[in-house]
Structure 1
Amino acid sequence: MEAVIKKELILEGLCCGNCAAKIEQDVNKLEGVEAASIDFISKTLSMKIADNADLNSIMTQTGHIIKNREPDINVKEKAIAVPGRKVLYFSGLDCADCAAKIEREVAGIEGVKEAVLDFVSQKLTIDVINSRDLAAIARQAVEAAARIEPGIEISGTPKALKQSSDDGRKELIKRIAFAAGALIFIIAFSFEFSFPLELGLFLTSYLLVGGEVVFRAAKNISRGQVFDENFLMSIATIGAFAIGEFPEGVAVMLFYQIGEFFQGMAVNRSRKSIMALMDIRPDFASLKIGNEVRRVSPEEVGIGDIIIIKPGEKIPLDGKVIDGKSTLDTSALTGESAPRDVEEGSEVLSGSINKSGVLTVEVSKEFGESTVSKILEMVQKASSKKAPTENFITKFARYYTPFVVFAAVALAVIPPLVIPGAVFSEWINRALVFLVVSCPCALVVSIPLSFFGGIGGASRNGILIKGSSYLEALNNVDTVVFDKTGTLTKGIFKVTQVIPSEGMDEKRLVEYAAYAESYSNHPIALSIQKAYEKEIDKSLVSEYQEISGRGIKVKVRDKSVLAGNARLMRDNGIICREFDDIGTAVHVAVNGSYSGVIIISDEIKPDSSKAVSQLRSSGVKNLIMLTGDSKAVGERVGKEIGLDEVYSELLPHQKVEKLELIEGRKQPGKKLAFVGDGINDAPVLARADIGIAMGGLGSDAAIEAADIVLMTDEPSKIASAIKIARHTRSIVWQNIIFALGVKGIILVLGAMGIATMWEAVFGDVGVAVIAILNAMRVMRIQRS
């Protein structure tokens, strides 16, 4: 696979969903661009560019495309995390000489390869030789900058630009002009004036209210961009003036501007509602340095550093409690309201809130790798993986607007030429209705908002979905395949029975088994080590050999020890008794002689039966379990929770093969979901249509391998995810049917001369506002 360069651009001022779709389409056509997608919610253009392409040329062309489509957009390049690189953003740095001093001082810090401070953007980029030193070097850089220029603010993320006094004046002038235009329109509409004065009043009102729209349309036409909302509104209202409908021309522009204002409010409110779900990012970390505690940015803290978390504060980074006891609110991460008690030795995850005692925590992950960062990154990037419905709407919008515009031209010209007595002014008026109603913004804005809201609502319920394509795919799941250990069962193994053979006592049997399993981190091995209750001297262990799907072969004090399942014993010619009906049996043989068996039991989760029941109720037809455990244990678990099929004694590669066979049986158009722990089951998770990691929070392997991550260990969350997916789909199709239905009716009524431009404005802006507000309903789905 060829290497690619990733670029992300922030498009400040992007407010037209249709224009965003056109920009995305044009950028995808550029030679060297492998993929490009715009997230309208975060106003981010993400690009993948071939490594051998002319990067500067592509970025220049992209800038021209954006400016041609939307001249008022301010384009900023977003820094993408690079190993060994740190970017700091300054606010209030207004001295170029001080900036040069900061750059020189940071460049002189030991371990820094290069430091560049862009005075215009107030961004300091630091490249280091060893990424392990990054956090410490960042701290030194912050200290140096604060010492040289004490009044500046420093952050790991870009600060929002404050509105300048000029911008404030422009906004105020625009509002005054709109108010004056509206007042003049009311006067001109309410009283009778001579024709020249009436025309002058309406024209003045029109220019005050809609002059900006006409100016933007003219600028866009000069760049070859015709089919946008500015052009459609301008030509429709100017056409109304041309046929003598002065009040209607001004009124359409007036209500269009009011509608745009409310649409902007609705979009911003929706964005804030969605982003509020992700308000789990910690603002600071209390870093302990010697006897001093300093408040720093979480990005400045490194692995092994000690942080203090007081009651009421968010835990800023993943780590381990080394002192203190407290209760944590993990609802922002898991969607569960039940508090979690932690004490010395407990693992804590960033994004949780400390409710009671003071905690001292040793940091185990840098901020960029912490749980809260991964969650934020997943949710923010989720909309780049677009659902088929989104892609359809984007393609539909590309053809819909030109089609309606040409239909309007035909409606204005053809009937007066072929219908006796037809008047051009009447048919032009009907054609103007077509122009006003032809913009598809209601769809291209509300559909992505619906999917993003569904992903946000799922996140609030403790379900991380990596993209709207996976959210939509959940609607078609008819087969769910489960792993057993850690998914349907607790995965907490305990030695429940020790049965030695003649001549062997229980303690010695457990000792041999514990030494044999001393290098394994498998839950069964750990349970045996725990049952031994003594420290294991690994110097007594040699010739360790793990036999896949069987067990362990090893030498302990020069004695050959086998520990594993019955197949391992049979392979070595040792006769053993079967104990599969009461748990997992670990048979032990010493020097080729059978020494006994240790029984380990795993408890079924109380939530598993509920999950199976809810999935059946939601229409999932096939519920199957794949396990490496024995047939008797697998069938016992399957029968107890009500599964349809159980496949046992499978090695990891056999799970993939079995999954492929199951997938071959599913109906066309249906999806198969595999649910596993995300670590041992990574190959199967990747092979399934939808990979779901159970209890994967904090596990890098789970987050990487799965398409959906359940933040708790409850399998019933799968049914909740399907419920959210169906709720989202329902709202998406409500918006599609409503928008197209209303526009279609207005087009028909307009062609018949019944609908006026007043109805057309509702069909454009009114429908968009209603669709956006409807999209926000997906956020209100309750936890189940």
Structure 2
Amino acid sequence: MGKDKKDNLNKQYILKGLGCAGCAAKIERKVNSLEEVEEAVLNFSNSTLNICLKEENKINYVEEKVKEIVKNIEPHVVVENKENQELSRKQKDDVHEHNHSHGHNHSHTHAHMEEGIDKKNLLMIVAGTLIFILVSIFKFSKYVQIAMYLLSYVLIGGDIALRAIRNLFKGELFDENFLMFIATVGAFSIGEYPEAVFVMLFYKVGEAFQDRAVNKSRKSIGELMNIRPDKARIKLGNEYKEISPEEVKIEDIILVKPGEKIPLDGVVLDGESMVNTSNLTGESLPRNVHAGEEVLSGFINMNGVLTIKVTKRFSESAVSKILDLVENAGAKKAPTEQFITKFARYYTPIVVFSALALAVIPPIVVPTAEFSHWLRRALIFLVVSCPCALVISVPLGFFAGIGNSSKNGILIKGGNYLEALNNVETLVFDKTGTLTEGVFQVTKVVPNDKISEEELVKYIAYAEAYSNHPIANSIRKYYGKEIDKGLIDGYEEIAGKGIKVDVMGKRVFAGNDKLMKWQDILFKEATDIGTVVYVAVDGEFLGHVVISDKLKNDSIKALVKLKEMGIKNTIMLTGDNKIVGESIGRQLHLDKVYSELLPGDKVEMFEKEQSNLGENKKIAFVGDGVNDAPVLTRADIGIAMGALGSDAAIEAADIVLMTDEPCKLVTAMDIAKFTRKVVVQNIIFALGVKAAVLLLGAFGLANMWEAVFADVGVALIAIFNSMRILKYKPK
């Protein structure tokens, strides 16, 4: 019930046609200032506005306000409720199925509208450019020349001029359209007609390329997440019918042919096939599945026909959860992103006021200074004052990092966690199922000379008959015979020690060394590595059994690489005895091992380590999600491993590793480091070029064209640089 309430307070809107990052930041700010809104985050990378409301009943009012804010800032942008959009997409899919001829008619009317505007705009730019070329080549009289430059300017930048004038009345003085308009009108006023027209042309072409680059980037990230199944083939009587995955119910039977995506989570009833799991896990090797095995939505069936019984509704399926996590990842912004948004708010006014000072002060102070000369320098400041390069490329970089991680089977719930991975100083691991396989097996049976191996195992198996602990399961499995529970009496579990039970009239104690000491039984202490279960019958010690858990294949390799990447402290928490814990610690070269911990102790030890952190450093906890939720939520970064299908872990963790390989942690760190490197490159490059042009402009050594390059040219280069993150192949 609570979850539904929470869902009702969270609303998502798609802002169709949003291409201006500066405007996105303005929209976010204005929506956040609404009294009814708890928090609003606009993810520019996928044009999604996430709103958390204070009260559910204010939704309609807030929706109207959002539309009003967007219309004021970006009139051509269409606000669409995400739920309605998904509903209309589903209806379109149905239409598509009934009538194939409508197959390509999927786009929103707005998209057609935009295409129309683009063509009209293009024609005007071409016409304006031709007039500009004519007037530059041929000699016309002065007034004809001015008229032709003016006409050329209106054709090329008329829409920017209109937007600028409209924004002026709304008090939007630092809008990029307004700044470009002022800069070019200023150039006109000092007789620099060709420069004014050419700068506007260069700006328009740059903007078009920039929009294209942003859309291409969004598409690339979108394609990366193109794991959504389109249809499900459901059994109705003796035949199969294709329907939308959302319509399939639990217990329904579906058929999946070779080459198709498995649409919903379920269990294979019939058939055998190889499945490609790379969409979800990033694993390149296919997996073999047969009757009785669980399969997840998003897997691709490769060669056999599979009949599957559905176990989860589509909204609860693996693929749905992954899409949801990745789509919402942009709502948690990285500190760098937040800093850039804040920085942009102050950077533009500072540069604009500097421009004003540059135009006005020197002509007043220096008698020989010409106003037109200094005005020209000031106009360069206006063109460079737009922080677009940063406002677009930084969020895009983080979003690409999250997208690349998901392609590698790592779900990162926000740019903040991706960035935080760079500051991890201490990594705390749970042992069982994280660094070890979590599969216990009997590795040694040591009876004394009074009993046979078989008899010793029989006593332990009977003693452990009612326990559901993994160790008890491994002993019963090793015994391998039917247990007659009629021979068992007075079964009692002794917390932290073991079991007391009567088997065939004999009093049996099976447990650890504490149990033997507690009963004052003389026993020979084992030196074996593993969990040791001692057995005494009627007060006499008869021997022990050793149960071991195997290290995962890549645990040693992963920890060596993590140390190379700069992780200072690696720590393991385990409920196992000291000998086992320390043996694993030595094999993995861990810095610290805390053993013999009860679940409550884990939180205590974790908090102790948390208090030893260096300044601005982070601590991450890595667990397999089972019983780890308390520690996962306390960590700066909670990492759940092998959580494919584990709902509790996906809910509690900040980062979800879809397979149970510790090496995925190295991949996540590597992508985080590369993302930060690219984002820092973009910041240094953009600010460096802008600072250089501002400086040169102030000394009269830069022209307007260089200023336009410092605006749109730099933005383009930064966007393409951010896209390198998508193509990055982690070590």
TM-score by length of 2: 0.92
CA gap of 1:588–1:411, structure 2 versus 1, over 3 A, is same
Q: CA deviation at 1:543?
A: 8.3
Distance 1:154 1:90 in 2: 14
Partner of 1:61: 65
Q: CA deviation at 1:591?
A: 7.8
Q: CA deviation at 1:404?
A: 1.2
What's the secondary structure of 2:304's corresponding residue? coil
| 1:337 equivalent in alignment to 2:284 | yes
CA gap of 1:754–1:343, structure 2 versus 1, over 3 A, is same
Distance 1:160 1:563 in 2: 69
| 1:601 equivalent in alignment to 2:605 | no
What's the secondary structure of 2:25's corresponding residue? helix
Partner of 1:138: none
Distance 1:264 1:172 in 2: 15
| 1:72 equivalent in alignment to 2:19 | no
Partner of 2:687: 740
What's the secondary structure of 2:558's corresponding residue? helix
CA RMSD after TM alignment: 3.1
Partner of 1:35: 39
Distance 2:157 2:538 in 1: 94
| 1:455 equivalent in alignment to 2:459 | no
Partner of 1:108: none
Partner of 1:325: 272
Q: Does the CA contact (< 8 Å) of 1:92 and 1:153 recur in 2?
A: no
Superposition map of 1:292-441 within 5 A = 292-441=239-388
CA gap of 1:541–1:310, structure 2 versus 1, over 3 A, is farther
Distance 1:715 1:772 in 2: 32
Structure 2 residue corresponding to 1:638, chosen from 571, 585, 598: 585
| 1:228 equivalent in alignment to 2:175 | yes
| 1:612 equivalent in alignment to 2:554 | no
Distance 1:581 1:560 in 2: 26
Structure 2 residue corresponding to 1:25, chosen from 29, 38, 44: 29
Structure 2 residue corresponding to 1:186, chosen from 127, 133, 138: 133
What's the secondary structure of 1:216's corresponding residue? helix
Q: CA deviation at 1:240?
A: 1.3
CA gap of 1:92–1:382, structure 2 versus 1, over 3 A, is closer
Distance 1:541 1:67 in 2: 77
Structure 2 residue corresponding to 1:661, chosen from 608, 618, 629: 608
| Counterpart code for 1:411 | L
CA gap of 1:527–1:232, structure 2 versus 1, over 3 A, is same
Q: Does the CA contact (< 8 Å) of 2:388 and 2:715 recur in 1?
A: yes
Superposition map of 1:350-749 within 5 A = 350-499=297-446, 510=457, 513-514=460-461, 522-534=469-481, 549-551=496-498, 564-571=511-518, 577-579=524-526, 581-587=528-534, 597-749=544-696
CA gap of 1:170–1:642, structure 2 versus 1, over 3 A, is closer
Distance 2:28 2:503 in 1: 64
Q: Deviations over 1:570-621 (max 9, x none)?
A: 4566565544623212345678876754322111122111111111111112
Q: Does the CA contact (< 8 Å) of 1:478 and 1:671 recur in 2?
A: yes
| Counterpart code for 2:557 | K
Partner of 1:111: none
Q: CA deviation at 1:528?
A: 2.9
Unaligned runs of 5+ in 2: none
Q: CA deviation at 1:515?
A: 6.0
Q: Does the CA contact (< 8 Å) of 2:36 and 2:53 recur in 1?
A: yes
Q: CA deviation at 1:730?
A: 0.7
Structure 2 residue corresponding to 1:245, chosen from 192, 197, 206: 192
Q: Does the CA contact (< 8 Å) of 1:493 and 1:602 recur in 2?
A: yes
CA gap of 1:239–1:681, structure 2 versus 1, over 3 A, is same
State which drifts further: 569-578 or 675-684.
Answer: 569-578
What's the secondary structure of 1:490's corresponding residue? strand
Structure 2 residue corresponding to 1:45, chosen from 46, 49, 57: 49
Unaligned runs of 5+ in 1: 94-141
Distance 2:279 2:81 in 1: 30
Partner of 2:11: 7
CA gap of 1:288–1:671, structure 2 versus 1, over 3 A, is same
Q: CA deviation at 1:345?
A: 2.0
Q: Deviations over 1:413-457 (max 9, x none)?
A: 111111111111111111111111111111011001111111111
Distance 1:198 1:10 in 2: 46
What's the secondary structure of 2:437's corresponding residue? coil
Q: Does the CA contact (< 8 Å) of 2:78 and 2:110 recur in 1?
A: no
Partner of 1:96: none
What's the secondary structure of 1:41's corresponding residue? helix
Distance 1:257 1:614 in 2: 48
CA gap of 1:152–1:781, structure 2 versus 1, over 3 A, is closer
Q: Deviations over 1:133-190 (max 9, x none)?
A: xxxxxxxxx8xx99xx9669999xx964156766554432222111111111111112
Q: Does the CA contact (< 8 Å) of 2:670 and 2:730 recur in 1?
A: no
What's the secondary structure of 1:599's corresponding residue? strand
Q: CA deviation at 1:289?
A: 2.6
**Paired residue total:** 726
CA gap of 1:697–1:278, structure 2 versus 1, over 3 A, is same
| Counterpart code for 1:267 | V
Q: Deviations over 1:80-104 (max 9, x none)?
A: 99xxxx95656579xxxxxxxxxxx
State which drifts further: 386-395 or 681-690.
Answer: 681-690
What's the secondary structure of 2:590's corresponding residue? coil
Q: CA deviation at 1:716?
A: 1.9
TM-score by length of 1: 0.86
CA gap of 1:552–1:438, structure 2 versus 1, over 3 A, is farther
Q: Deviations over 1:26-69 (max 9, x none)?
A: 22222232211111111111111112774444333333222222
Structure 2 residue corresponding to 1:195, chosen from 142, 146, 150: 142
Distance 1:545 1:89 in 2: 59
Q: Does the CA contact (< 8 Å) of 2:42 and 2:48 recur in 1?
A: yes
Partner of 1:134: none
Q: Does the CA contact (< 8 Å) of 1:91 and 1:153 recur in 2?
A: no
Distance 1:164 1:769 in 2: 23
Q: Does the CA contact (< 8 Å) of 1:481 and 1:675 recur in 2?
A: yes
CA gap of 1:332–1:243, structure 2 versus 1, over 3 A, is same
Q: CA deviation at 1:226?
A: 2.5
CA gap of 1:690–1:580, structure 2 versus 1, over 3 A, is farther
Partner of 2:727: 780
CA gap of 1:313–1:512, structure 2 versus 1, over 3 A, is farther
Partner of 1:125: none
CA gap of 1:661–1:154, structure 2 versus 1, over 3 A, is farther
Distance 1:269 1:299 in 2: 29
Distance 1:538 1:342 in 2: 36
State which drifts further: 184-193 or 339-348.
Answer: 339-348
Percent of counterpart pairs with the same letter? 57
Distance 1:607 1:439 in 2: 49
What's the secondary structure of 2:233's corresponding residue? strand
Distance 2:437 2:112 in 1: 61
What's the secondary structure of 2:336's corresponding residue? helix
Q: Does the CA contact (< 8 Å) of 2:92 and 2:106 recur in 1?
A: no
| 1:287 equivalent in alignment to 2:237 | no
Q: CA deviation at 1:538?
A: 7.8
Q: CA deviation at 1:771?
A: 0.4
CA gap of 1:732–1:168, structure 2 versus 1, over 3 A, is closer
